[in-house]
């Protein structure tokens, strides 16, 4: 499969592929065992320009848009999902919230350092009792003169313990609820009262850190308010439009890897005197996975194109996330089945891919929430 990419994007994809194969893949077992992505990989991604790949050049980024970000995501995920998620929490939902919601001054102030990987971002929306329903959040921000005072706790925050700057969503007017009552803030992690809590032990993507964050009388200046007072929910959702698209690219990379391993295994493993790939049952699984991969790739890059052309892509991004995460689950499941008992062994890579894939139907909005988003839009704007 090939896409009609510009020469620049082809160079970027090849660079990401090379980095991923030479630097990420060899470290993947260590990252999984130690539950940690080495800082040197982040620094190398910064030097290669990946950290700001979707940040416009005027703000110090590479200006390669969401298409560029998806290409890098796809390639890195092929080698290790945890590295790609660590990368995405910064380059996608971390930096993109500043791009989507920031004033020109805030973009000039924060994005060049984010593009250079000197300032790592994270996105803090979820709370213990507010996941699918973020409007139920309890974190509050109260204005005192030129400052805001934040109190509350977020959970499940990817990169929360390594980020320098967290985009935190807080209630500023409880009466108004999600629309008008939530405001976004850029909170430096060094601010007094900001603390990192429990790290989750996860089924998959174990190298990626996911932690709770607590805010106790955290004081930040009004210049750290992202967007207008009450615009937080809009910024959170616009950032997720981009995040869900990039997550589609994650799913595509992981699915490609599972499928490639399955094709190799089907050719090499024998039963009843022939390779298992000669049995129709295995052929049908391979055909279904290849077909779904083609659909995933088409959705990811068409949606990225819509975003880069500044067209509406919110529904398409939810559809991409929904379809790609569910197709990935089917593809990794087939990969395990094709590998037979070896598919269940931790010695074979498909076992890890199977575990890594499962959460994609949950984070950045569950499949159920994506269906709600899509159906609402279909009913409002038509098919
Ligand atoms: C590994 C990992 C990393 C994460 N990283 C981040 C991060 O960086 N930043 C961040 O802010 N959050 C992050 N999250 C949180 C994630 O986005 C939430 O877990 C997710 O949105 C689901 O929320 P919940 O876990 O509270 O599930 P719940 O909202 O409790 O949902 C439970 C079940 O009920 C269903 N459900 C809920 N409401 C409805 C409805 N109206 N109709 C039908 N079904 C419904 C859900 O689909 C789900 O099946 C992360 C989560 C994980 C697991």
User: Pairing mode, if any, of strands 165-171 and 121-124?
Assistant: parallel
> Cα–chain-centroid distance for residue 172?
27
Q: Each residue of 295-309: pLDDT tens digit?
A: 999 999 999 999 999
Q: Whose CA is nearest to atom 35 of ligand 1?
A: 368
Which 8-state DSSP code applies to residue 201? P
CA–CA dist 302, 374 (Å, integer) = 17
Cβ neighbour number for residue 305 with a 10 Å cutoff: 18
Task: State phi, psi for 211 to the nearest 5 degrees.
Answer: -135, 170
Dihedral of CA atoms 300, 328, 95, 125 in degrees, nearest 10, equals 120
Domain ranges of the chain: 7-115, 121-229, 234-381
Q: Find, among 98, 101, 103, the residue nearest to 61 by Cα.
A: 98
Name the CATH topology of 234-381: Butyryl-CoA Dehydrogenase, subunit A; domain 3 (1.20.140)
CA–CA dist 350, 30 (Å, integer) = 17
CA–CA dist 84, 378 (Å, integer) = 32
Active-site residue set = 364
Q: Each residue of 37-83: pLDDT tens digit?
A: 999 999 999 999 999 999 999 999 999 999 999 999 999 999 999 99
pLDDT of residue 2: 55
Cβ neighbour number for residue 350 with a 10 Å cutoff: 24
Dihedral of CA atoms 330, 331, 335, 337 in degrees, nearest 10, equals 20
Whether 7-115 shares its CATH topology with 121-229 is answered no
Q: Which atom of ligand 1 is nearest to the CA of 123?
A: 9
Task: Decide: 250 in ligand 1 pocket, CB within 6 A.
Answer: no
pLDDT of residue 302: 97
Say which residues have a Cβ less than 8 Å from residue 280's Cβ, sequence separation at least 6. Answer: none
pLDDT of residue 266: 98
Alpha-helix residue ranges (DSSP H) falling in 61-135: 65-79, 81-91, 93-101, 104-115
CATH number for the region 7-115 comes to 1.10.540.10
CATH number for the region 121-229 comes to 2.40.110.10
Dihedral of CA atoms 87, 89, 93, 94 in degrees, nearest 10, equals -90
Is residue 88 within 8 A of residue 247, CB to CB? The reply is yes
Pocket test for ligand 1, best of 92, 363, 374 (most atoms within 8 A of CB): 363
Task: For the chain, give the mean pLDDT.
Answer: 97
In this prediction the pTM is 0.97
Residue 41 CA, ligand 1 centroid: distance in Å: 29
CA–CA dist 201, 171 (Å, integer) = 29
216: confidence class by pLDDT, cuts 50, 70, 90: very high
E strands, the chain, where? 121-124, 140-144, 147-158, 165-171, 182-188, 194-199, 210-221, 225-226, 270-271, 274-275
Task: Decide: 189 in ligand 1 pocket, CB within 6 A.
Answer: no
């Amino acid at each position: 499969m090939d896409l009609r990419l510009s020469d620049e994007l082809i160079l970027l994809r090849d660079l990401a592929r090379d980095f991923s194969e030479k630097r990420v893949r060899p470290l993947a077992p260590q990252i999984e065992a130690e539950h940690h992505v080495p800082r040197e990989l982040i620094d190398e991604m910064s030097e290669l320009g990946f950290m700001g790949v979707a940040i416009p050049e005027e703000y110090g980024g590479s200006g390669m848009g969401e298409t560029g970000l998806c290409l890098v995501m796809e390639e890195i995920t092929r080698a290790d999902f945890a590295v790609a998620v660590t990368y995405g929490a910064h380059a996608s939902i971390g930096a993109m919230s500043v791009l989507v919601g920031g004033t020109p001054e805030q973009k000039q102030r924060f994005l060049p350092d984010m593009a250079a990987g000197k300032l790592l971002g994270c996105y803090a929306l979820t709370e213990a009792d507010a996941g699918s329903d973020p409007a139920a959040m309890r974190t509050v921000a109260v204005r005192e003169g030129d400052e805001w005072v934040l109190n509350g706790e977020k959970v499940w925050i990817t990169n929360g313990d390594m980020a320098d700057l967290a985009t935190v969503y807080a209630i500023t007017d409880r009466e108004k609820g999600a629309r008008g009552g939530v405001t976004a803030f850029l909170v430096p992690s060094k601010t007094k009262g900001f603390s990192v809590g429990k790290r989750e032990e996860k089924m998959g993507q174990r190298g990626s850190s996911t932690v709770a964050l607590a805010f106790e009388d955290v004081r930040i200046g009004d210049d750290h308010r992202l967007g207008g007072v009450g615009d937080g929910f809009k910024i959170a959702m616009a950032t997720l439009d981009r995040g869900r698209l990039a997550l589609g690219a994650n799913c595509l990379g992981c699915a490609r890897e599972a499928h490639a391993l399955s094709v190799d295994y089907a050719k090499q493993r024998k039963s009843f005197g022939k390779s298992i790939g000669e049995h129709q049952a295995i052929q049908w699984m391979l055909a279904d996975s290849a077909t779904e991969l083609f659909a995933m790739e088409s959705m990811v890059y068409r949606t990225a194109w819509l975003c880069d052309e500044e067209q509406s892509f919110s529904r398409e991004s939810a559809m991409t996330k929904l379809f790609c995460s569910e197709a990935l689950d089917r593809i990794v499941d087939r990969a395990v089945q094709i590998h037979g008992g070896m598919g269940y062994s931790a010695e074979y890579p498909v076992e890890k891919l199977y575990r890594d894939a499962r959460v994609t139907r949950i984070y950045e909005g569950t499949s159920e929430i994506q269906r709600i988003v899509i159906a609402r839009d279909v009913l409002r704007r038509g098919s």
